[in-house]
Structure 1
Amino acid sequence: MVTRFQIKDIATSQEKFKYRSPMKFGGRVVEDVVVYHVDVVIEDDNGRQSTGHGSMTMGNLWAWPSSVVAADLTLATMLELADLICQSAGELGRYEHPVRMLVDFEHSFPEIALTLEKNNALAETIPRLAQLVCGSPLDAAVHDAFGRLHQLNSFQTLTPSLLREDLSCFLDESFGGCYLSSYVLEKPQANMPLYHLVGALDPIFGDGAKVESESDFPELLGDWIRRDGLTHLKIKLSGDDFDWDVERVMDIDAASRTVQLDMGRSTWSYSLDFNEKCASIDYVVDFLELIRTRNPDCFSRIQYVEQPTHRDLKKNPQNTVHKAAKIKPVVIDESLIDLESLLLARDQGYSGIALKACKGQTGSLLMAAAAQKLEMFLCVQDLTCIGHNFLHSASLAAHIPTVAAIEGNGRQYCPLGNQQWAQQYPEVFQPVEGRIATQELNGLGLGF
């Protein structure tokens, strides 16, 4: 018999970590991060209690890249919003399942954000993406606690025996008769390739550029590839400097090719991330065609292109990507906030989506199901997740059947944030032959 549960207690805390080396994306440079932690206690109708934990990096420069509100204020506002979301969650009633609870609760985020905007006299509204990031630690903590309450992995709690509503109750009527459990794996994939980030400031050939780093971390791309056996590289590009972008990919391929062939490999992959900076999709089409002409082998290694144009699809209907998607899969990242945005992206030519734990466990599960039903390309990216939230991201990726690789750049830029959890799960945080061991993420709750 399905019982209901209620949140009985919520505790929050924050940690700040300095990056080992700066990361540049979308014209912005990140040098540190604040992690927001949430612990929740839930209780069911029979008086049984369990505790769950959730955390997330508060990536304000990604979730709220404002030209009006200063970066330190967007971060402070997001932290305050996370506090208010947790306070409001303490007033929620009894629910049968976290998915229903959190879908309902997310509807209140704009109102909570509006109150904060008025009280702080903000010059612009808090973006929906930033709201989701602020709510994601609580979302994860509730799923974690619910799994532990039932002595199950959270992904095993998605069956109709515990989540009785089908997907039409959360998405639309076309999902009638479809259940969330059909779109996840009860047990995680044994291991997965790790996408290593090549940031816009990262040195490739040792041409005099230096990165402040501890002695046990590589500086140059080739050294990273040798140390970790990397097979997947995510390349950050400018999107507004065509020649630089082309030469950057050419250099990265040349450096990669030298090492990969020396290691006896013939196959490796790239993804390209323009971080919304392309003025139109013609930039991407011309870029891909030039890469194909100059270096067909490099072109063949490109697995997909990520979010090339502005995230606001409604305000930029001219930015259709059909032409580029005929050449390589094009996935939305920042644009993806709900089913409406997914369907709009598909209409505008996008061939896939990037899931991120920072948008919430609940929303990620629902978008993963929708994308699979619509036969769209799926990948999992992270928000430079570290420690607990990287394990969460890895667990999400490993439990979605069509996801073939996971991004994890926290080990590059913010290894201090991994130290505690890396001692318990060394094979998740340190890739071997380019892969991390995700079979370990099969414990209670979120899996660890």
Structure 2
Amino acid sequence: MSAHKLQIVAAQAFERDTPFRMPFRFGVMTLRAAPQAFMSVQVRDQATGREAVGQSAELMVPKWFDKRPELSPDDTVDQLRRSVTSAVKLSLDQPALTAVEHAWQLDARQAGALPDENGLVRGFGPALMAKAMLDALGQLQTLSFHDVVRSNAMGLTADHLPPDLDGLDMAHFLAQLQPQASISFRHTVGLLDPLTEQDLEQPLNDGLPESLDQVIRTYAPQYFKIKVSGDMDADIRRLVAIADVLQMMPGYRITLDGNEQYSSPEEFTRLLDELDRRPELARLREAILFIEQPIHRDRALQQPLGALAQRVPLLIDESDADLDSFLRGRDCGYLGVSSKACKGLYRSLLNKARTLHWRGGDYFMSAEDLTTQAGLGVQQDLALASLLGLTHVERNGHHFVQGMQGAGAQEMDAFARQHPGLYRRDEHGLFLRIEGGTLDLSSLDKPGFASGVALDRCSLRPLT
């Protein structure tokens, strides 16, 4: 399919507050609330003159995109607001281009407009814009997100490939992607999360599970992501307690997330040594699929992993700030890279291609969460993970936030009608439907980018 050229007619950004039902501790941050950003872009098909409006959403999580200690949580949210408003401004008054060319040119202009920001911050606004563009493109061509990508209606060509992907047959790579109708969910165990009902000092009693044992009884997940803090004694004590609870789920598998809390491979190796040494942690150690970003981003891609890379697969997440980050990670011994829609869907696609195209290692991708919220955010991220062929995905937005916060009843009703397998609707709100540890993705295969519901702007504050 030839890629149609699109003219951006109008674009706007909004935000909505998202209070948390319980604190989420990861790395140095304890999250109790965060605003969610929304993008709306109106495009015109140059060939037909038809127009459509595309939408996207992502949570503006404090102290994840930029963790410098001199910045407050509010400072880091303001960085993301500037990234979004800059992306809107820089997207207007441009010629008609393919969706990919819009994305590539916006990335270049954004780098010039925000030269002092890191790649994750700079890329946040363009990532929202790229998703909204594909939503509009899918509506114009009556194609789902999966079919837009598989038919290359967005216009990804060899000219957009980095040198390490020379020789890749782009058409074949995209066409062979096979979206799934369901995906296993990987439950996040934050650093402050209660592990048993006995740990609940002041139960919320809001109808949702709070402790790890309640999560297991309610959702029956087979996969878990466990946060570690960098304090080895505290981490070992907590891992022993978690291992005891996880006995409820025979056959469980886990990932460990260091959230940049270790200064070197040698420091993290000491934690792994202790896991190997303790018989009470033998089952948990055996269950580890991979380790996520243990080393701080300032050093992770500057030093080889050495012997650590031979003991367990490691993956970059926060260090994945640019299109060549995975390449530099590979040179240091990392085998994996995360997919998060907030880092850019095209980066995820090219990194997936790398796992298939590169030789000399068992390269892989994982699907990690940025506390994506019910509605556009979680749906578009799930559709991307599904298309990449990933079998399990970290989800935690449904756990730390009570349903679809900030949305009105009509918006929640609309999402429930469009996605009855993905959500359950009751008098308390709209909630992810997780049954047997699985999410039903079948409703995401519809024209546009996994949506089907227009934004309720009455519940949103303008950003632009």
Normalising by structure 1, report the TM-score: 0.89
Residue 120 of structure 1: aligned partner: none
> Hey, what does 2:121 align to over in structure 1?
130
Separation (CA, whole Å) in 2 of partners of 1:423 and 1:3: 31
- Contact residue 21 and residue 212 of structure 1 kept, 8 A: no
Report what 2:302 is aligned to. Answer: 317
The residue aligned with 1:146 is 137
Question: What's the offset of the Cα at 1:127?
Answer: 1.8
| Contact in 2 for aligned 1:338/1:367 (Cα 8 Å) | no
- Tell me which amino acid in the other structure corresponds to 1:238: S
Displacement after TM superposition at 1:313 (Å)? 4.6
Specify which of 347, 352, 365 is matched with residue 378 of structure 1.
Answer: 365
Equivalent residue number for residue 359 of structure 1: 343
Which residue is 1:408 aligned to? 395
The one-letter code matched in structure 1 to 2:395 is G
2:435 is equivalent to residue 432 of structure 1? yes
- 1:311-359: CA deviations, max 9, x gaps? 1358x623x2242222221000011123321111001010111111111
What is the match of residue 291 of structure 1? Answer: 275
CA deviation after TM superposition for structure 1 residue 158, in Å: 3.1
Q: Is the 8 A contact 1:166 1:177 kept in 2?
A: no
Q: Give 1:175 shift.
A: 2.7
Greater than 6 Å deviation, 4+ residue runs: none
Q: Match for residue 69 of structure 2?
A: 67
Q: What amino acid sits opposite 2:240 in the alignment? A: M
- Name the residue aligned to 1:307: 293
Whole-Å separation in 2 of the counterparts to 1:244 and 1:22: 19
Q: How does 1:87-236 map to 2 (within 5 A)?
A: 87-96=89-98, 98-114=99-115, 125-159=116-150, 162=153, 165-172=156-163, 174-179=165-170, 182-183=173-174, 188-210=179-201, 213-236=204-227
Bigger shift: residues 18-27 or 65-74:
65-74
Please state whether the residue corresponding to 2:186 is helix, strand or coil. Answer: strand
- The yes-or-no answer on 1:253 pairing with 2:243 is yes
Alpha-carbon offset, residue 220 of structure 1 = 1.7
Q: C-alpha distance in 2, partners of 1:217/1:411?
A: 9
What amino acid is aligned across from residue 254 of structure 1 in structure 2?
D
Question: Residues 197-225 of structure 1, C-alpha deviation per residue, up to 9 Å, x if partnerless?
Answer: 10000011345453653420122211110
Aligned CA RMSD, in angstroms, stands at 2.2
TM-score by length of 2: 0.86
Q: Which residue of 1 is the match for residue 404 of structure 2?
A: 417
2:150, 2:174 within 8 Å by CA — same for their partners in 1? no
Aligned position for 1:53: 55
Give the partner amino acid of 2:4.
Answer: T
C-alpha distance after superposition, 1:25-71 (max 9, x if no partner): 11211110111111111111220111111111112310011222322
Query: What SS does structure 1 have at the residue aligned with 2:43?
Result: strand
- Report sequence identity in percent: 24
Structure 2, unpaired ranges of 5+ = 423-431, 452-464
Tell me if the contact between 1:187 and 1:442 (Cα under 8 Å) persists in the aligned partners: no
Distance 1:151 1:126, change over 3 A: same
Q: Distance in 2 between matches of 1:423 and 1:20?
A: 25
The aligned residue for residue 244 of structure 1 is 234
8 Å CA contact 1:103, 1:170 repeated in 2: no
Residues 224 and 161 of structure 1: is their aligned pair in 2 closer, same or farther, counting only changes over 3 Å? closer
CA drift at 1:161: 6.2
Whether contact under 8 Å (2:419, 2:444) holds in the other structure is: no
d(CA) in 1 for partners of 2:76 and 2:3?
Answer: 41
In structure 1, the residue matched to 2:377 is 389
AA at the equivalent of 2:145: S
Range with bigger deviation, 105-114 or 166-175 = 166-175
Deviation of 1:164 after TM superposition, in Å, equals 5.3
Is 66-75 or 81-90 further displaced after alignment?
66-75
Question: 1:23·1:413 contact (CA, 8 Å) conserved in 2?
Answer: yes
Cα distance in structure 2, aligned partners of 1:442 and 1:415:
26
Paired residues of 1:12 and 1:38 also in contact (CA < 8 A) = yes
> Does the 8 Å CA contact 2:39/2:129 hold for their aligned counterparts?
yes
**2:372·2:397 contact (CA, 8 Å) conserved in 1?**
yes
Q: 1:117 — aligned with what?
A: none
Aligned length: 427
CA contact (8 A) 2:263 2:299 kept: no
Report which stretch shifted further, 288-297 or 266-275: 288-297
Secondary structure of 2:255's match? strand
- AA in 1 matched with 2:342: C
Quick check: 2:228–2:235 contact (8 Å CA) kept in 1? Answer: yes
CA distance change for structure 1 residues 282 and 145 in 2, over 3 Å: closer, same or farther?
Answer: same
**What letter is aligned with 2:404?**
G
- Matching residue within 319, 322, 333 for 1:349: 333
Q: How far, CA to CA, are the matches of 2:198 and 2:39 in structure 1?
A: 44
Of residues 340-349 and 186-195 in structure 1, the stretch that sits farther from structure 2 once superposed is 186-195
Change beyond 3 A, Cα 1:381–1:181: farther
User: Is 1:442 matched up with 2:445?
Assistant: yes
Residues 85 and 112 in structure 1, CA contact (< 8 A), matched pair in contact too: no
8 A Cα contact 2:152 2:171, kept in partner: no
2:100 touches 2:156 (CA, 8 Å); kept in 1?
no
